[in-house]
Structure 1
């Protein structure tokens, strides 16, 4: 008779995600994972496969979380500009119990250039974030809030690049005032 699992898969996966997010892939050992997740090494292998497979599963979980969170922030805005500002504010102000920065940005800078699976997941995540901005900008153009002369695809690309940069800066000693100033410069592009 097979033994039943003594842990909730989604809970230990979340623990692994936060550990990878905080330490990165290379600095996280299997022993770190076993201790942090509170499961046996055999259970880790049986449930999640090897370290790399577990890492990819944590990235997939993060993608769902990040997409839902950013969309929820954007939906709070009454206008396209307000929605974009809310996203900037969220990226700058929010951390709470989370490690610093963005799990995708951290993973992309650490691994994407040499790990096709990480590159694919981070690129897909970045594309979804940029696409959300394109949709907001198109809505803003339709309502006359954003000039029809401005290309929503180019603007979204520029705004999203700034958002990625802010996530990197959040891992440093940059203060929030400076990060908000950077966001303001990007937001000013929408006023042209």
Structure 2
């Protein structure tokens, strides 16, 4: 009969995620995980699997959280174009108030080129976000707020690429004004 865990599995998963997020996958050792989780190796392996499996679970949970944040950011808007702008402004606000870069973007550059499992998690997350944007773009086109000639899928991917670039821009230039200008320009491109 399996024993009940004497620790909060979800809480420890969040702690592991934050360590991976801070240090990156390669720089995080099993010893680091043992220390921060305050668990022995056998408990980690028994509960979460190996380091790679634990990382994939952390990344998947982070992706789910971000997808929900995008959905929530656009929920209160009266129109689809307002929802698009709310999502974009929410990302900009998050970039300006968070001291860490997006875990998905950080992981993309560290692992996506070499790890098919990580690439798959990132691709699925990107497709989910693309779907959110495509639906809003199509609704905004019907309302006349986005020109019909724009392909919703191409525009959605452009928005996602722009948002990724905003993180890089914020880290390198550290200019709120520049980030706001970029968000304003993105909205002009979407509408025009």
Provide the TM-score with structure 2 as the length reference. 0.91
Give the aligned partner of residue 119 of structure 1: 119
CA contact (8 A) 1:105 1:164 kept: yes
Q: Kindly indicate whether the alpha-carbon contact (under 8 Å) linking 1:100 and 1:170 is maintained by their aligned counterparts in 2.
A: no
SS of match in other structure, 1:158 = helix
Aligned counterpart, 1:141: 141
Distance in 1, Cα, partners of 2:110 & 2:122: 11
Conserved in 2, the CA contact under 8 Å of 1:34 and 1:40?
Answer: yes
Q: How does 1:52-67 map to 2 (within 5 A)?
A: 52-67=52-67
Query: Structure 1 residues 67-76 or 80-89, which shifts more?
Result: 80-89
Contact 2:15 2:37 in 1 (8 A): yes
Aligned-CA RMSD value: 2.0
Q: Which residue of 2 aligns with 1:82?
A: 82
> 1:189 and 1:101, CA in 2 relative to 1: closer, same or farther beyond 3 A?
same
Contact 2:92 2:180 in 1 (8 A): yes
Q: Is the 8 A contact 2:92 2:183 kept in 1?
A: no
Q: Is the 8 A contact 1:93 1:176 kept in 2?
A: no
Q: Is the 8 A contact 1:73 1:90 kept in 2?
A: yes
Distance 1:36 1:74, change over 3 A: same
Q: Which moved more, 1:166-175 or 1:48-57?
A: 166-175
For structure 2, which runs of at least 5 residues remain unmatched after alignment?
none
Normalized against structure 1, the TM-score is what? 0.91
Runs of 5+ consecutive residues of structure 1 not aligned to the other structure: none
Going from structure 1 to structure 2, the CA distance change for 1:96 and 1:58 (only over 3 Å counts) comes to farther
Change (3 A) 1:19 1:170: farther
User: Which residue in 1 is equivalent to 2:69?
Assistant: 69
When structure 1 is superposed on structure 2, of 153-162 and 116-125 the one drifting more is 153-162
TM-fit CA distance, 1:191: 2.9
CA shift, 1:32, in A, is: 1.6
